[in-house]
Amino acid sequence: MSQIHTLTMPKWGLSMTEGRVDVWLKEEGQAIAKGDEVLDVETDKISSSVEAPFSGVLRRQIARQDETLAVGALLGIVVDGEASEAEIDAVIEQFQAAFVPGEGAEEDSGPKPQKVELDGRLIRYFERGEGGVPLVLVHGFGGDLNNWMFNHEALAAERRVIALDLPGHGESTKQLERADLDELSGVLLALLDHLDVPVAHLAGHSMGGAVVLNTTRLAPHRVRSLSLIGSAGLGAEINGDYLQGFVDAASRNALKPQLVQLFSDPELVNRQMLEDMLKYKRLEGVDTVLRQLVSGLFKEGRQQLDLRGVVQDGRQPVLLIWGSDDAIIPATHSVGLTAQIEILPGQAHMVQMEAAEQVNRLILDFVQQH
C-alpha cells in the first residue's frame, strides 16, 4: 500500500510564522528514512534542518531555494511505495487549494504555554505530548523555554514533556530572593506538585543542569533520570568573562560578541536573536536577577557549588551531553563521572539547538531505557 506524504514547513518555537528555504539536502528521487535531514530552513531566529517525519522517496521539491514560506506550507512530496505523477499532482493541487498561509502560525492553534502562580511568582511552562513518566526541561542562565524549540516537540513524541521559564527568565516573574540553587529547585519542585507529577525525568542545560542536579539532591525520590547538557555544577571553571559581558551588554554591538561564544556557527547569532535577547534584558528586574545569579552561583568566574556527588551517588542514571568546543563550561568536567557520556565533536554550548537531531535521539533513547 503506497502513501503520498506532504512535507511541510515546521513551526519552531512559539513565534515562528515563516521560514526561508536555505538548501535541499536530498535530491528528487532519493530515498530517505524517517529522521533524515531533508532540507535546511532559516527563520528570523535561527536556521536548522527539517527532518523527514516519514520514510520513502523524495519525489518532488516543491519549495525553491531562497523561497520564504509560511508555517505549514508545502515543501515537498515523499512517497512511500508507488505513485504516479498524476496522483502526486492531485495531492499537491488538493493541498494548495486548502492551504491558508498564517493559519498554522496562529497563536491559538496547537499547544500554548501556561502560567501559574507559585509562591507569589508567575511561572510560565509549556506542556507537550502525553503519557509516560514526564520529562522536564530546564534552560540555562539568561535562557528560557524557547531554548528547547528544536527539542521539545521531538521529545514529546511518546511522553509528556514540560519546559519552564525559571524565575527571572522568559515570561516568569523577574524576581529572585536568595538567587541560589535551592530557590530555583524549589520552583521546579513546586511546578511538579502543581502539575501532579510525582516523579520525572529531568533534563537541564548549563545552569539548568545545576538546577536539576540540585533538585535531585533535595528530592531524589522524584527524579527518574538526569540528562545534563553542557551542565553547570560539575566543576569549578566557567567562562566568567562571558557571564559578565552578557550581563553588562546593553546594546546589539555589545551583546553580539558574547552570544557568539555560545555557538559553533557564529552566523546563527543574527539580528533577531540579538533583538530578542535585548528585549529580555531590558525588562524591569532582569538586570538585577542576572547579577544576583552571577554573584550567587558563579562568582568571579568560579562555580560555587560542586554537585558531582549527585552523579556519583548513582541513584539515578545520568546522561551527559557536551559540545567538545563548549566555550562556557568545558567538556572536561565530564571526565571521571559515572554516566553515559556523549561528547559531540565541534559542537559548542548551545548543542541542543545546533545539533538538535543528535541530542534529541540521545535523550529519547536514554529516557526510554529508564
Give the binding site for another protein (CB under 8 A): 14-15, 68, 107, 112, 171, 174, 250-253, 270-271, 275, 279, 282-285
Q: Give backbone dihedrals phi and psi of 182, rounded to 5 degrees, phi first.
A: -60, -35
**Per the structure block, which three cell numbers stand in for 153?**
516537540
Helices of type H across 37-150: 85-98
Based on CB atoms, which residue is closest to another protein, 14 or 343? 14
Based on CB atoms, which residue is closest to another protein, 96 or 272? 272
Shortest CB 206 distance to another protein, Å: 24
CB atoms within 10 A of CB 346: 12
**Total residue count of the chain as it appears in this document:** 370
DSSP letters for 303-346: -S---HHHHHH-SS-EEEEEETT-SSS-GGGGTT-SSEEEEETT
Distance CA 3, CA 333 (A): 48
Shortest CB 258 distance to another protein, Å: 17
**Per the structure block, which three cell numbers stand in for 247?**
550581563
Based on CB atoms, which residue is closest to another protein, 15 or 304? 15
Shortest CB 283 distance to another protein, Å: 5
Shortest CB 171 distance to another protein, Å: 7
Contact 323, 364 (CB under 8 A): no
C-alpha R_g of the chain: 21
Based on CB atoms, which residue is closest to another protein, 286 or 327? 286
Shortest CB 253 distance to another protein, Å: 8
Based on CB atoms, which residue is closest to another protein, 285 or 314? 285
Shortest CB 106 distance to another protein, Å: 10
Based on CB atoms, which residue is closest to another protein, 172 or 352? 172
Cβ-based neighbours of 163, under 8 Å, separated by 6 or more:
125, 126, 136, 137, 138, 139, 145, 148, 152
